[in-house]
Amino acid sequence: MVTKLLRRAYVIMSMVWLRSVQVLMMTLVGWTAMASAASSDTKTYEGRQIVDIQFSPPEQPVAASDLEQALTLKKGVPLQMADVRESMQRLFATGQY
Position 79 scores a pLDDT of 93
C-alpha–C-alpha distance, residues 71 and 85, integer Å: 10
pLDDT digits (tens, 9 = 90+) for 4-35: 656 666 666 666 666 676 777 778 777 776 76
Candidates 46, 36, 35; CA nearest to 77 is 46
User: Which region among 4-8, 42-46, 78-82 has the lowest average model confidence (pLDDT)?
Assistant: 4-8
pLDDT digits (tens, 9 = 90+) for 53-72: 888 888 888 888 888 888 99
